[in-house]
Structure 1
């Protein structure tokens, strides 16, 4: 049961809550270590997308008799920490919640913020959110004054164009403009300096993929772009997906047909959701002609959106670790009852990374939805995914297809993902 507790707390499900509430887990040093490790390190699949687990584990500890020992260890970690990774941000939030509950001196939060600010000061830095959430307008005044006193020519651009309090209007109870006016009325020179810097226009706006490109321009960019320049390919792929016209797609497809090997390797990377307009048999031949694992992987990805049943047989023939998820997508797209055992085996062998990659295809498979078996797939995906954002998508489908039971409903009430908890309340 301990291994289940550890696995589920890393996934962020409600299972650890239920295990503690129902007495299935006894307090021990081993459980202490699991809880401590999940506070000092954010073990979410994608912390940037999923956010902090501090509230989740803080509330979980309310069911744990030895929470005081863990709190003491976290406070000691907080006082000594110097990094700014996702784990440290999570610890800062956890300790802020201790301070809000009167279990820790909140002045230590300000000291730790100043330590980090002396090292590297910027909008969105560690500690800002927690000071605002614990002291609201008092913290707004403190931070505006602090920044006004310490911003230098070297870091001033970090504060231009947006106030540090703009993302927290809802939590603070005031609109950004109102807070700016309130700060102006403080008649404080340092605060006024901060406001003048925050109101400046940004010199450089973040670049976005141009909406109006020609095939020739795309080819020209690709010719100059090294295959390792992932960011450039992401921009062009975004353009292909969102802005390219049908004529653009046809032109790029024609360019692929006429291109040499080097350009083929680059062009094929642009096609994911928008199908390349090249006959599948020609792509099959290209797979055999170009012995390059990255190209073959990208080509298989480009095959998936095409509507040709022969693609299923081709991808099955080429199945290996590199092309595995492409074949699973094809299996989902061309599902029939005779593929049930095969699909179950494939999904059973999926890693959490594989599940993350094939999830949308599974959830959106109109063919699969026609079968009662779809509910079993949803349950399997729910059990295997580690990402709470993916879990939210799965739960939404489970609710739509009435594949929920009381046990799962009880579980999602304690999920780390607040959107899932809200879905549970609306059920």
Structure 2
């Protein structure tokens, strides 16, 4: 395999050019490779399970645009829908029938939601859901958890994981203390902290927002007892339980992560749900929704204002609708979950053979792995991971044509396009990469 330094000419040239006009050379921080070192790959095209960089190097893609590409890149039905929609018009600033169809398709699979509002990004959806929760309850405080990332709205950039964890900052510059003072940050999966927070502030809490499977500290599940207690305390104190399923929605199961908890907890449902990624199929589209009584607090029906020029964009809704129709076919998730489990079991086998401490977990088409002997349950445990060893593993895989997230704290994604041959090639690359950790 050609060394990294011998085949980054075009990528390096583009990166140097980008840094002159774009802060850090990238439009989203984790793309900069600052956590892992080296030169970012500038992607020129994608197809199925593969992406190609500016040098023409092909990679097996386990990022999938950070989750949306559940069908793989360029699925024929999705491509056809997008092309037809684009011919009809890029944007109208007026309602379309397709917005209704997409809303109906989402609600069909997520029974906790009676109504849904389409927006353009996960950050916008999470920010709007919190505003709605505050407006509906007349309260100000919100509960979030260390390592959970809900977008870059000011009040949420407090121990937020993801890119912030990568750079080692607990919060962001430019966020006034007064903006974050109503954000209560608790340890994920810590029942005693959760109960103490509601005991002290229950009557002031508008909502509790949580990633049911945190994908921004890699892959960490909320335990069933913890999630059940979140639901009970929110109900008891009149706060809204907000599920951030930007990453897990339609990715871990057709009904999202909440459908998995509903199997274990009687009558379980969140009050509001935030969705993104898969529902847009790779286009800029997200949503938030919940019960009628709450959603009808939104303008133009109620006093909580939210608006967006490109909300429900006709090309994005075409992409999302075509994606949801494909993944709702019988057997889709069984096959996807089986392939994802095969991936992490194979990686575990290669790590064991090399004598490398390794733990992994998956649900549906989402997975995560740690260079730790046991799966962590919270942000503090995740931070015990050895970043330098991960960087060595990352580059070992990248140089052998396998592209995983360029950061220790990000989950990975398998698509329906990943074949058995792709997995076999991944295991071969991992075998060599794990050996680098034992030298």
* TM-based fold match above 0.5: no
If asked which structure has higher relative contact order (CA below 8 Å, sep 6+), I would say 2
Q: Which has the higher Rg, Structure 1 or Structure 2?
A: 1
Instruction: Judging by fraction of residues, say which structure has more helix.
Output: 1
Instruction: Judging by fraction of residues, say which structure has more strand.
Output: 2
Superposition TM-score tier, normalisation by shorter sequence: under 0.3
